[in-house]
Structure 1
Amino acid sequence: MKNKYLKGAHLSERKFKEILRLFADDLTATQIANISGVSRVTINSYLKKLRQQIARYCETLHPVPAPILSFEPRQLVSAADNDGETLVAVKTEVDKVVKPVIFGICRSGERVHTEILPDVTRSMIHAATRGRSVLETQSSSERLRKYNGVVDLGQYRLYRLGQSTDSHQMDDVDAFWGLTKHRLAKFKGLNRNTAYLHLKECEYRFNYRNEDLFNALIELLKIYPLSLS
């Protein structure tokens, strides 16, 4: 079936656009499946492909090292969402055992960019916020300095960094974290291996918040169509 946005799919272009519009409206996979009549397994597969393409696009605007997210069964924390992507809770009582997902936020021009920081620890964040010189001996100190803020998803908390006097810059960082916090709370937790994709989706949604997201996604997929092969 011909579909210039989704190569190799047994799905009409019209039906795919319906799914894409529901995604743009920020519905969950279960909601999209119920409305569209397409199975949740298929919807989850399409949404993962879409999020991967969004992440690739974001990386072209702000290249970062590939995220290194270790995965072990004991690192999973179950949650009560039913979309199949709910294994690492955003905030848990066992965050001393589960290695937290930590990411940096920086504003460049009119855009906000994010990067997962697998080698940054809570003690390093605390040292950075207190301006302690111990950071001078840490290999990640330079990376931390380029961010306006760092988020510890295990504690569900944004730490402000830097000495920026640009209040508009920090307002955008706060607004981005507000959007991200709201979206992650809606999912009630994430799979550790897909946290990066959801983070990049939040980045994309925030940077296109003043535009029609559906049209922006259509233009993106015209250039970078999805493929099931």
Structure 2
Amino acid sequence: MKNKYLKGAHLSERKFKEILRLFADDLTATQIANISGVSRVTINSYLKKLRHQIARYCESQHPVSAPVVAYDSRHAEVHADHDGGDTLVAVKPEVDRIVKPVIFGICRLPDRLYTEILPDVSRPMIHAATRGRSVLETLDTTERLRRFNGVVDLGQYRLYRLGNSITDTLNGNPLMDDVDAFWGLTKHRLAKFKGLNRNTAYLHLKECEYRFNHRNEDLFAVLLELLKTYPLTLS
């Protein structure tokens, strides 16, 4: 069955668009399955692939030339279209194996916000950074943490503000306003899952990043454009 957004699927393009619209409306997999009439197992499979594609796109927009998080290339997944066209960078879904607890940084740029898992940053390091302690200089983390406006410890569901809400401004507005707004969105979304599965923490984080950066757009239309360029595949 021809479906330019989901290759190799026995699902019509019309039905897939229905599922994609429900996803854009931020419904759960159970809700999407009930409304669309597609099995929960199939919906979970599609949503996982969609989140991988979103994460790949977010990584391609990363302002750093190379990913900072170390990962095992044997577990990385790279997507290339069937015509040998553009390639998106590898997704790092196995990050939970090297991050305990899950800690990530939030940085606000002029055109978007981005997040980064910080596998080598611990709670004591965050506490030291928020207090301005110079001990971090010996741990080679100060400069890295200075790139972020805030750091979140998912184990404690807590945002640590590293930026100065008075002096760190963008177009006259405090950067931390957007950082706080993003954390509010992320905390609300993750709470819906009633306990985050560490295996999918990275994918859900990147989904939150994607949703926040496109919050003023029609997310359904944005997702369609993404999948036109990088369609999902079941192979």
Q: TM-score, normalised by structure 1?
A: 0.85
Q: 1:189 aligns with which of 179, 187, 195?
A: 195
Match of 2:226 in 1: 220
Task: Write out aligned runs for 1:87-166 (5 A).
Answer: 99-163=100-164, 164-166=167-169
SS of structure 2 residue aligned to 1:104: strand
Amino acid at match of 1:27: L
Amino acid at match of 1:17: K
Preserved contact between residue 67 and residue 117 of structure 1 (Cα < 8 Å): no
Preserved contact between residue 4 and residue 13 of structure 2 (Cα < 8 Å): yes
Q: 1:10 to 1:115 in 2, by over 3 A?
A: same
Task: Write out aligned runs for 1:21-60 (5 A).
Answer: 21-60=21-60
User: Gaps (5+ residues) in structure 2?
Assistant: 72-94
CA distance in 2: counterparts of 1:136 and 1:217, whole angstroms: 42
SS of structure 1 residue aligned to 2:192: helix
Deviation of the 1:50 alpha carbon: 0.3
Preserved contact between residue 125 and residue 136 of structure 2 (Cα < 8 Å): yes
Q: 1:67 to 1:225 in 2, by over 3 A?
A: farther
Preserved contact between residue 67 and residue 116 of structure 1 (Cα < 8 Å): no
Preserved contact between residue 3 and residue 12 of structure 2 (Cα < 8 Å): yes
Q: 1:67 to 1:113 in 2, by over 3 A?
A: farther
CA distance in 1: counterparts of 2:29 and 2:70, whole angstroms: 25
Task: Write out aligned runs for 1:75-90 (5 A).
Answer: none
CA RMSD of aligned residues (A): 1.6
Amino acid at match of 2:130: T
Q: 1:157 to 1:67 in 2, by over 3 A?
A: farther
Preserved contact between residue 69 and residue 118 of structure 2 (Cα < 8 Å): no
Identity %: 81
Ranked by relative contact order (alpha carbons within 8 Å, sequence separation 6 or more), the top structure is 1
Deviation of the 1:119 alpha carbon: 1.1
SS of structure 1 residue aligned to 2:174: helix
CA distance in 2: counterparts of 1:215 and 1:42, whole angstroms: 22
Q: 1:71 aligns with which of 97, 104, 108?
A: 97
Deviation of the 1:70 alpha carbon: 4.4
Deviation of the 1:193 alpha carbon: 1.7
SS of structure 1 residue aligned to 2:97: coil
Q: TM-score, normalised by structure 2?
A: 0.83
Deviation of the 1:53 alpha carbon: 0.3
